[in-house]
Amino acid sequence: MTQVLIAYASKMGSTKEIADAIGVELLRLGVSADVRDVANVTTLDGYDTVVLGSAVYAGRWRPEASRFVKRHAPALAARRVWLFESGWVGKRPETITPSPFAAKWAGRIGAPPPTVFGGRLDPKLATGPIDRLLAKRMPGDARDWDEILAWTRTLAVALTADREEHR
Ligand SMILES: Cc1cc2nc3c(=O)[nH]c(=O)nc-3n(C[C@H](O)[C@H](O)[C@H](O)COP(=O)(O)O)c2cc1C
């Protein structure tokens, strides 16, 4: 039985909401999944697949997500892993590329490069002065739920194909 861990690193909540949506969709498709804050995950025992997502701040993943990859690199390399990150807000950029560090880690653990989703900036949810300033200057929600759910369905299809192969 496939057991998926969806681990997220989120400061203002929008990446957590993406992780929750992925979890709900996987469960709807019959895939067993737990959604957890990456800071609270101490072991990958019991999971054969990991979906790891982080918000991007100043071009980098959240520190707890980076720590998680470094600490669990061998365990991640032994599992099926998909990565995503969430960041850009406003007009969709013409070229969307994952943050360089995350792309490098993906290579190290044998995972495909992170998929990049849009993010959200909301002054009401911003915590520190810099976050609030930026959120006031360019508020918006660029998360495309159809895109996120379509991506989730490709994961479910790959997991089902794996299951059939190992029967
Ligand atoms: C101070 C600050 C710096 C940010 N830097 C980046 C960045 O370098 N690249 C990017 O794509 N998004 C950047 N963002 C946008 C956030 O990644 C986006 O708001 C994201 O959805 C936040 O996720 P969270 O709500 O899970 O914390 C930044 C936001 C703030 C407030």
User: Tokens representing 154?
Assistant: 């490709």
CA 104 to chain centre: 16
**β-strand partners of 32:** 3
1: confidence class by pLDDT, cuts 50, 70, 90: low
User: Tokens representing 143?
Assistant: 């998360």
User: How many CB atoms sit inside 10 A of residue 106's CB?
Assistant: 20
Q: Distance (Å, rounded) from C-alpha 67 to C-alpha 35?
A: 18
Of residues 111, 116, 112, 82, the one with CA closest to residue 99: 116
Give me the sign of the Cα torsion angle 25, 111, 103, 35. positive
Atom of ligand 1 nearest to the CA of 8: 26
pLDDT at site 31: 96
pLDDT at site 2: 83
Give me the sign of the Cα torsion angle 14, 16, 22, 23. negative
Ligand 1 binding pocket, CB closer than 6 Å? 10-15, 55-59, 86-89, 119-121, 130-131, 134
Q: Write the pLDDT tens digit of every residue in 104-152.
A: 999 999 999 999 999 999 999 998 999 999 999 999 999 999 999 999 9
Q: Write the pLDDT tens digit of every residue in 71-106.
A: 999 999 999 999 999 999 988 999 999 999 999 999
Give the total number of structural domains in the chain: 1
Give the structural domain span for 99.
3-165
CATH number of the domain at 21, please. 3.40.50.360
For the chain, what is the mean pLDDT? 95
Q: How far is the CA of 140 from the centre of ligand 1 (A)?
A: 11
Share of residues in the chain with pLDDT > 90 (%): 92
- In three state form, how does the secondary structure of 11-26 look? CCCHHHHHHHHHHHHH
To test the pocket of ligand 1, the residue of 57, 62, 120, 141 to mutate (highest count of ligand atoms within 8 Å of its CB) is 57
